[in-house]
Every structure is written in C-alpha cells, then in structure tokens.
Structure 1
Amino acid sequence: MSSSTPSTTANGTDSKQYKGDRSPCAPSRVLHVRKVPIEVSEAEVVSLGVPFGKVTNLLMLKGKNQAFIEMASEEAAMTMVNYYTTATPHVRNQPVYIQYSNHRELKTDNLPNQGRAQAALQAVNAVHTGNMSLSGTATASDGGMMPGQSPVLRIIVENLYYPVSLEVLHQIFSKFGTVLKIITFTKNNQFQALLQYADPMNAHHAKVALDGQNIYNGCCTLRVEFSKLTSLNVKYNNDKSRDFTRLDLPSGDGQPTLDPTMQTAFGAPGIISSPYPGAAGFAPAIGFPQAGLSMQAMPGALGPLTIPSSAMTGRMAIHGMTPTAIHSVLLVSNLNPDSISPHELFILFGVYGDVHRVKILFNKKENALIQMADATQAQLAMSHLNGQRLYGKVIRVTISKHQTVQLPREGQEDQGLTKDFSGSPLHRFKKPGSKNFQNIFPPSATLHLSNIPPSTTDDFLKDLFASSGYTVKAFKFFQKDRKMALIQLGSVEEAIQALIHLHNHDLGENHHLRVSFSKSTI
C-alpha cells in the first residue's frame, strides 16, 4: 500500500494516535474528519472545506464514521483547521472534529465506491467556482485568483438596521484567514470598512463567500469588493480602526462608530456589544479595554459563527448572536385611546415586521402589547417608532417582559381589543428574501406608493389623500415605472396616519395600494 493512501489501517493509525495526548501532526493539506454521522452525504463533508478553498479529493469511511478531505493548498487547510479548532463544525446537528492527517495527499484512484465522492467534489466545486466567476474576480482554470490581487477588501453594509461594530466584522472575516487591520468609516451615508488580510487568497475566499450575505436575518447586507489599496495604514487602535499586529498604537479620540442619534435609537451601549471570550489553550489574548474585547492573536480564534434558527426562514444570517434577547413582544404606551385600534397598530408596526397579535389593555387603553414574528423585527419596530407622534401623542415603545400575547379565553369580555393577525395576507415579510427587507425606512413625511393601476392619474391619488384630510405638498410618479409614486405630506405625523388609513386601500382593477415610508424627498 502506498504510504500516501489512507485506507482502513492508515485511518486506524490516525485514530489510535489521537487518544488524548497525541502530538498533533505537522500541517498537511489532507485533513482527517472524525465522528462523522453515518447518514451524512459526500457533498456535506466537501462543504466543510469549500469556504476555505478548493477541495481536491475526498475519502469517506462511513463504517468508521470518518473521512479525509484533501485541500488544494496547505495554506487553505491551515486556515480551515485554525477556524474549526475554536468553532466546532456541526453536520446534521452533530459535532465533527477536524485535524491534520499524517498523509500528504490522497490517492483514491484504485479504491472502490469512489464514484459518489468524485461526483460530489465536482458538483460542490462547480457551484463554488461558478460563484467566483460570477463575481468577476475569478476563472475556473486559475482556481479563482487573479494575479496581483490585493489582500485589502472594501466592505459596505447595506440596510444597516443594527449597528455593526469593528469586532463583529473581525469575527466574521477571521473565518477566512488572519485579519491584520480594519478601518471603519461612514461615506455617502453608508457604513463602510477597509479590511486587510495577511494573504490575498484569504481576501478572495472571503469575498466569494460573504458578498451579498446578511449579518442578521433580513438586514445588514454585506457588499464586498477588492480595494485598490494594497496595504492599510492604521494610526489608532480604537472602535473605528485596529491594527492587530501592533498593540503599541494609541487609542486616539476613540470616537464612537455610530453618530449620537443612531446610538440613541439603538440604545447605548450597542445592542451587540458583548465581549468575546478568548478560546482556552491558545496564545495569550490581546485585550482592547476601550472596546470591551478579548481576542486571540491568531486566525479564527473567535467564537463560533452559528446560524440563528430565524435565519433559516429568511436569507441566511451569518452572525451568531441575535441582536436582542428572545423577546418579540413590544409594550406601546401613551397611545390615544379614543383613536387607536388593534388593526391600526397592526398596519403601522407591520412596516417593520410581521405582526402576529395585538392586545390593547382592557383597563389601560393607552397601552398595547404587540407580538412580532421575532426579536429582530421587534427591535427594528422599537428603534423606528419609539418617540413618534400618533394621533397627537408621543408614543413610547419598549420590549415587553411578556413572551407572547395571550388571546382571550372563551366567553371572556374583550371588546375586540385583542386580535390575532398571524394568518393575515397583509404581512410584508413572509416571503424569504423579499425586496421589502431592503425597503425599511424610518417614518418620514414622504410616502412610497406602489401597486398603482395603469389607468390611475396623479390627480386621483392626490385627491384620495387630500379628501382623507391630509395636506399634499408634492407628488410624482416614478419615471420608469408608473406603478409606483412618491407623495409628500404636511408632516411625519400626517404621513404615519395616512399610511395607517390608506395602506391596502382598494384602487379598483383588482389593485390594493401599498404604502411605505420613503427615504427620498420630492
């Protein structure tokens, strides 16, 4: 048997040597995967390696719950082992363990039952290189790297409904290799960052895997591209910039990444500011006290990036921490009890998430409980609607201690104050990946109208709002699409009330008007 062909006996050696005090093998591009559930497919095992580079071979030993993965380069294998050492991968909800093999390559040509492994390799790698080609940075023939490619990435975070800190970016991007430096800044009203890897290949893999992904479910979308810069010059280590190779840099002014109004909206300190504990058994942690951060001086040593279950239904969220506690119920106070109804609260709060239940309190009708689909949406609604004026009163929105809104028992007097909207056809965010996720804005005097029938005129729509008691200051159809328009009203308070009253208004021709807040002005 060739020394480079793991078979059952070679594999047994790998296993036996592992017992507890086994000295780790020297780095190799062949990796040994243990405790693989017997029902796992070849493609699932290959997928463990794909984020780190091309997988060139696979050997499954199902009877022993083990597998061998061969990566295209030793560097890719090292990045993968470093990451999975601290973030144990799970396949079919079972932890699997990855370490270097004492084999330098896999020779599987003469082994039986390799057809499925080779098919899985081709399929998974084809999808991966296909993604690379689409991103305009790679071709299948050169393995994805363009010559002279920069190790610096430019990152833009779109749909920034939660603050994204430098630490969060470090945690996400460390998965793909050693991050040397990060600089964050705001440009064109967008949160952006420049991030430098130790190696351009790391930057390439991160770009392919992360471009277009959401940090949180339905928001904070990453746009990743190569920077023209080839190196970053960091002057200060603080919450806006960090050089992980130089602990001697001063903290400078340490201005907060978020402007004060954003900080107020999200409630200081940031929702997602939590220290990441260093992993045991590694080099001493570097502490950045002003950022409340404890981080390892090695790649991938941050906590595991798990996918919250809420992300499974929407577009994938890649950041492991949910932005809030589990509570998805809001307490709304200082309502105008003479004017408000459960349906109106459903329409207003439905701009920021899917409202499942609304209860106006029987004995305190200026208060209501609103149950959103999840905690992310509850936080979003709270940050945008707390402090807004509704029917002449400034409403207060906080997270409730209740975990659900109870429906009234049979025969219990309720006066129609509790309503279940979980089956409503008016939910805006039911469809995973819906465009509505990208069009969530704070209340504004300008409303975005859509689903307008072709025969509807601007005068008809202006009259609709004016006859309902609203001051119409400006109106315009979209040039390219007359199914959409903008209308500017006298105040934000008027626009809130108009949205409540005229969203889903029947315009005839089987069209119901859709109303949202706009970020544009006319």
Structure 2
Amino acid sequence: MSGQQQFRYTQTPSRVLHFRNLPWECGEEELIELCKPFGKVVNTKCCVGANRNQAFVEFSDQNQAISMVAYYASSSEPAQIRGKTVYIQYSNRQEIVNNKSTGDVASNVLLVTIEGVEAGDVSIDVLHLVFSAFGFVHKIATFEKASGFQALVQFSDPDTASQARTALDGRSIPRYLLAEHVGLCHLRISFSAHTDLNVRFQSHRSRDYTNPQLPVAPSAMDGGQVYHMRDSL
C-alpha cells in the first residue's frame, strides 16, 4: 500500500515522469540509474522547484514510463535515491523542452535571486564584494519581483560569469557581511538574456563601476528605472 500512495492515478500516462522529494541537488546520473531498468532515458530536467528537489525524466517510449509507474505502484519497496523515498507521477507534459534562452545559455550577465531576505537587507556593496571575488564587476542593478529580491550582475565575459555562477549558486552570503537581523540568505543564479545593463544613475539600487562619473540618482528618481525588466527565474 505504501508504494501505491506514491502515484496519482487520475493523470493521463505520458512518457515524461515527474519526480518529487528528491535528495538535495539530485543529479541526472542518479535519476538515470533509477530509471534505466525500465527503458531508455532521452532527456531530463533536474533541480526543479523552489527547493530544487523535483525533476522530470523523459523516456523514449511511453510504455517504458508506464512500466516504471506500474512497478513501483505494486511494489512494497518505494523508489529511493540515497535512501530517500522518491514520489513519482505522470507529468502533464508529453516531452521535456529545455528552453536555452531562460538561464541555460552562458551570458556575461547573471540573474541572482537572494532568498530569505527583504529588499534592502542585502546592499549592493555586499553583492559587489561577493561577486568581485571572481573578476571585475561592470554593473549591478537590484529590483523586486514576485519571485523575490533579485539582482543583475554584469561581468566582462561569459567565462567569468560562469565561474561565479558555478561557485555561488546555492550558496549563502557569509553572515559577517550582513546586518544582525538578517538570517541565512541563499543565492539562486541563472544566466540573463541581457548583455549590457543600461544603468542611468548610481544609487543604492544600481551601480556602474565602469563609469565613476555617472551622476548620483536624485531622490525622486531612485535609479530603479534603469532598464526594461524581462528576466524571471
């Protein structure tokens, strides 16, 4: 019975399966290892969801996905990765489409979401200090969206940005850089579609480190309107 509780029978079968409750940062290799007894995996999408503990796996044939669902639905042993029970159901999608324009293609500009903070809890100077460890930061702009407090960080080239992303994605800003009232704040980083930020004023929301002569934002114009916001996680 415990195995049957893993599945949502009302869903239409699909060759794409949705995995939940995965171990932290579960990788493609671990998913393929779990799935390969049932068929050929042709695509995956890992680290999905706010907690990065969900994933999608696409089999080459729908019958292979049905076979996996049927096996664990009738098995007394649940699907597990690293000893953790994994919940499996059919996906609403029939194929995995990896949109390379939304964060997977290397760019010199990073889109950074700072989780667990309010706007103003992390200053632009702190962000500059953190990201400057990997190379010269040209520009930074911060803003608020539905997904939380975010920043765009511009480097000179995609390689430098990639190094910063690899090192910092999923990490926390050191506590000694933050005010006492600020708790742990995690960084979620993807590549932006932007290549050159149009920063009009120096302010607590935006900085252009390549142009020290840029005027300081008037109080009525807080530098928030520095470019068109198109990025979203």
Same topology, TM > 0.5:
no
Relative contact order higher in (CA < 8 Å, ≥ 6 apart): 2
Q: TM-score range by the shorter chain?
A: 0.3 to 0.5
Structure index of larger Rg: 1
Q: TM-score, normalized by length of structure 1?
A: 0.21
Q: TM-score, normalized by length of structure 2?
A: 0.44
**Greater fraction of residues in helix:** 1
